[in-house]
Amino acid sequence: MSAAARELVSTRLADQRRHQIRLTRKRMTWWIPLIFVVGLCVTVYGLVPSIVVYREGRSAGHLVLFGVFTVFFGWAVGLWLLGPFLFRPRIVPCFARELGPYGGETMTAFRRGRALYRESAAVDRLAENLGVKPLSAFGFGDDYYEQEIRWHPASEGLTTIEALQRGLASLTVPSRGVAEDLQALASVVRTAAEQSVDFSLVLRLHAKDSMQVVRTREVRQGSFW
């Protein structure tokens, strides 16, 4: 894989990540972050005179009160601003229809995928060296984020994944977790191939997901397991 092609994989993932973050924030009720910003301004405004009063030897009650709320609102605003830098994305499979029950073995790959995201360029380079379709060719559009999801035959994906598993020893970058991610992915994609169910790879923003959110709030085609 050329340097330009490797850069394309990283760029695609970065663009996808930005798109998902932007749409997530757009869907969020606008007044929620505003409450924290206003709260921070009010508490800081009250904290300054409280410090003056405390230095004059009077009660520290207001200082403690405004101090606690300043820290709380400051933490919330900081988390909002720094949130995009704190995400730990992962790459997981999505299937055209449900493969198995919730909590079953077909959920294995959904719980992993961090290493596949982290080493995506190296994994695609390995696929090219092995003469198989790159893993990134099977994703990353997600209809939940208003994109077209493109389904692929699971048998094609399995060919790539199994080749990557065999060739992983030649990976020239640290591959911590890649073997485990590929093993989990292979197991569920193999099940999909046996059931003739198409699949696609999608990007998840967090290292772990709230299953309640995934099951009740995310309306999308297909299933993660």
**pLDDT tens track for 129-154:** 999 999 999 999 999 999 999 999 99
Query: What H or E segment, with its residue span, contains residue 199?
Result: strand 199-204
pLDDT of the residue at 164: 94
pLDDT of the residue at 41: 92
pLDDT of the residue at 210: 76
Distance CA 176, CA 10 (A): 19
* Stretch among 14-18, 56-60, 204-208 having the lowest mean pLDDT: 56-60
Percentage with pLDDT > 90 across the chain: 54
Residue with tokens 């093993």: 183
| Local confidence band at 27 (pLDDT 50, 70, 90 cut-offs) | confident
pLDDT of 3 > 70? The answer is no
Q: Which two tokens stand for residue 53?
A: 């009063």
Distance CA 121, CA 101 (A): 33
Distance CA 198, CA 150 (A): 9
pLDDT of the residue at 5: 53
pLDDT of the residue at 211: 77
Best CA proximity match to 203, nearest among 125, 111, 141, 112: 141
pLDDT of 52 > 60? The answer is yes
Best CA proximity match to 208, nearest among 126, 88, 105, 125: 88
Distance CA 144, CA 20 (A): 9
- 67-123: per-residue pLDDT in tens? 999 999 998 888 777 776 778 899 999 999 999 998 899 999 999 999 999 999 999
pLDDT of the residue at 159: 97
Contact 107, 93 (CB under 8 A): no
- 167-212: per-residue pLDDT in tens? 987 766 556 799 999 999 999 999 999 999 999 999 999 878 877 7
pLDDT of the residue at 171: 65
pTM: 0.76
* Through-space distance between the first and last CA atoms of the chain, rounded to whole angstroms: 31
Distance CA 27, CA 177 (A): 33
